[in-house]
Structure 1
Amino acid sequence: MSTSNIQKFNLSEDEIINNILPQFNCKNASIEQIKIKNTDKQRAVYKVTALDNSVYCLKKVYYNENTLLFIYSVVEWLYRNEIKVARFLPSKDNKRFIEYKNMLFIFTPWLEGTKFSYDNFDDVIKASKNLAKLHSVTKDFFPIDGSLMKTGYDNLYISLNKHGKQLTECYNKASTINDDFSKIFMSTFKDNMSLVNKCLNLSHNINLDNLSRSICHGDYVNKNILINNDNEICLIDFDKCSMNFSATDISYFLRRLLKRENTKWNLDITKRCLYEYNLINHLSADDIAYIFAYIIFPQKYWRLSRDYYNNINKANKYAFCNLLTKANLQCKYQLQFMTSLTSEFNL
């Protein structure tokens, strides 16, 4: 959707204070704008300080009522199973949200804490254990009436195979165009395709029936993982949660962890995270294969080349060249990681 066709979120602070917050029994409060995104998934977040100095979060969500009730169900289920989350607070009419000018708003406590650090090994292990608990307690999850069950369950092999074919198409374009980006792209094509082929071999043999299923956060990354004053993990932003293969959450978390400079494709850290997770929520052989196929795939190399050749006439060529050069630096470490994995796990 073109941003020019998107209606901007333009409620004034006075309108929020006078017309929205009182519906949550919060009057004469002060607010601080934290985030506004005027995209096709328009949302806004405000930090609200009440007269008694209690602090809350007011969030304008982008999804419909059915999806909102699903997310409410997930958060409530986790809260009742002792996962620390920002529980929805009821409106004065005892509703789980309020509607104002065709927009939906939710109200929660403001969770204080520091953002989880990928460079803190204790945080990484703590986050791995917390994710295992989240998956363990939601295997039998069911949402409340009136909600829309969100599910994933995408076939990883089909997705990776499609991406691999796109990379081959990009190579054909690169051979013809032969500009600076294309030369950088072709310089590591063979190595990156080695990664792709390993991913395809792993994912092709996965038995989907053997994959663990649970609620997945969908965006289990540092910005949504807080460490509170009691050194406990608190989770926020369940907008992308769904019932899905548990391995998708684990894979997303590990890929974000491993591509960083201080943890760059470190097999020992990967093994420790999976070990700690497995103590709480057992991983099948197919779960492990899914995770490794997911994280080995050269995601950034694929995404940059796809975006560049799809928008070559508008692309900032200098910026794309710099980004691809940085992505290529990861390739040799991913190859070493893949070789070690193959040997360690007999893949």
Structure 2
Amino acid sequence: MMREFEIERQFNVKIEVLKANKGVYYLKTNKGERCLKKINYGPQKLLFVYGAKEHLINNGFKGVDKYFLNIDGEPYALVNEDLYTLSEWIDGRECDFHNIEEVKLAARTLARLHEASKGYDPPENSKLKSDLGRWTHLMNKRIKSFDKMRDMVRKKNNKNNFDLLYLKSMEFYKEIGKKALKTLEESEYMKLCEIAENEKSFCHHDFTYHNIILDGNNDCNVIDFDYCKREVRTFDISNFMIKVLKRVDWDINFAKAIIESYNDVSPFLDSEYKVLYAYLQFPQRYWRLANRYYYNEVNWGQNTFGNKIESIINEQESMLKFLEEFKNVYNLE
């Protein structure tokens, strides 16, 4: 095939085995095992991601899926206008978010990643990605979009199960969203953005179980940096926490374990707890699901959407209880 031939030529390897594997390709080559991935963004953004990984490696954080360069010294192959990256294949298993010891290990790894990210100057011709300072605006916009989506539903003649569940639940999530925005506005968020800007640090932005790979030595590797950007680290921590918490019925002990383990490596500033709380409060998963549904961002079946919104709604009580406990444990007003 033309594509394989071009990959071989541009990366100067010989492909012996090629297998599709969860959105990427596993390759066995004459130079070892590799991961081939087609990417859906441009070379400038890719150079930011490539530079970020190299920066981590140079700062002693070695457990990443390092990119290989092509014969011209670029971290990609261009085949019929499509970009492909070739990276190290990291053998191991995904982190188990039900296992508190593995969750602690992942939290310490995230702290090490954030520490190693400091001082990153992206390559000249790359596109700087940053969400610093944007979260009050983003939350505001998303709170308003709850009403827009409700109006879309009201205009529909045939309302399905998802529509009815959305109409019934959206006020609850809009109110929680407003509380989260208020928490963020009353926090030292902008000051923390300034610190992150000066530190030149970045976040992974998708730190979840399938991107945390435990190898044979039980070392923690982090893969898939496609979404990494300049961001306050509490965003990464909250994102990771929510991914864990929704699997363990919002058990406060998992949240405490994550914060303690992270603190062992890189202690929180007092002002970070409130920002973290604002992110934990904000109904990001609910907003994202509705947004995907009403703006046709994902072509899942009706049932999948219905089941997902139902399971989020079923967590309401546990989530509210958790938020109250979190506020008390960390003395937040």
Normalising by the smaller structure, the TM-score range is: 0.7 to 0.9
Match of 2:86 among 101, 107, 112: 107
Match of 1:68 among 24, 29, 46: 46
CA distance in 1, matches of 2:73, 2:149: 54
Count matched residues: 321
Amino acid at match of 2:243: R
2:243 matched residue in structure 1: 256
After the TM superposition, list the runs of 4 or more consecutive aligned residues in structure 1 that deviate by more than 6 angstroms. Answer: 172-178, 314-318
Per the alignment, do residues 93 and 339 of structure 1 end up closer, same or farther by CA in structure 2, a change over 3 Å counting? closer
Equivalent-residue separation in structure 2 for 1:51 and 1:164 (angstroms): 53
Q: 2:187: which partner in 1? A: 206
Q: What is aligned with 2:18?
A: 31
Deviations 1:123-153 (CA, angstroms, capped at 9, x unpaired): 1111111111111121211123322222221
**244-253 vs 94-103, greater mean Cα deviation:** 94-103
Q: Which moved more, 1:160-169 or 1:112-121?
A: 160-169
Q: Give the structure 1 partner of residue 101 of structure 2.
A: 122
2:112 equivalent to 1:133 = yes
**In the alignment, which of 114, 129, 141 is matched to residue 162 of structure 1?**
141
Report if the CA contact (8 A) 1:195-1:335 is conserved. Answer: no
1:16 is the counterpart of 2:6: no
Change over 3 Å in CA distance of 1:51–1:328 after alignment to 2: same
Given that 2:213 and 2:221 are in contact with CA atoms closer than 8 Å, whether structure 1 keeps it comes out as: yes
Which residue does 1:8 correspond to in 2?
none
Q: C-alpha offsets along residues 209-230 of structure 1, whole Å, 9 cap, x if unaligned?
A: 2345221111111111100011
Is 1:196 equivalent to 2:177 in the alignment? yes
Name the counterpart of 1:78. 56
Query: Structure 1: how far apart are the matches of 2:290 and 2:19?
Result: 39
Counterparts of 1:274 and 1:149, CA distance in 2: 29
- 301-310 or 91-100: which moved more? 301-310
Q: Which has the higher contact order (CA 8 A, sep 6+)?
A: 2
Tell me, in whole angstroms, the C-alpha distance in 2 between the residues paired with 1:259 and 1:330.
Answer: 8
% identical aligned pairs: 26
Shift of 1:86: 1.7
Deviation, 1:233, is 0.8
Cα gap change, 1:170/1:232 in structure 2, threshold over 3 Å: closer, same or farther? Answer: same
Partner-residue secondary structure (3-state), 1:338: helix
Kept in 1, the 8 Å contact 2:18–2:28? The answer is yes
SS in 2 for 1:148: coil
Paired letter, 2:318: Y
- How much does 1:269 deviate? 1.3
Q: Give 1:166 deviation, angstroms.
A: 3.2
User: Would the aligned equivalents of 2:15 and 2:27 in 1 still touch at CA under 8 Å?
Assistant: no
CA distance in 1, matches of 2:183, 2:258: 20
Q: Which residue is 1:272 aligned to?
A: 257
TM-score normalised by the chain length of structure 1: 0.81
Deviation (angstroms), 1:336: 0.7
Give the deviation of 1:28 after TM superposition: 5.1
Aligned AA for 2:37?
A: K
Q: 1:149 to 1:332 in 2, by over 3 A?
A: same
User: 1:40 maps to what in 2?
Assistant: none
Question: Could you state the TM-score of these two structures normalised by the residue count of structure 2?
Answer: 0.84
CA deviations on 1:89-125 (whole Å, 9 max, x unpaired) are 2334444333333333322221101011111111111
Unaligned segments of structure 2, at least 5 residues? none
The aligned residue for residue 275 of structure 2 is 290
Change (3 A) 1:340 1:191: farther
SS of the equivalent of 1:215 reads coil
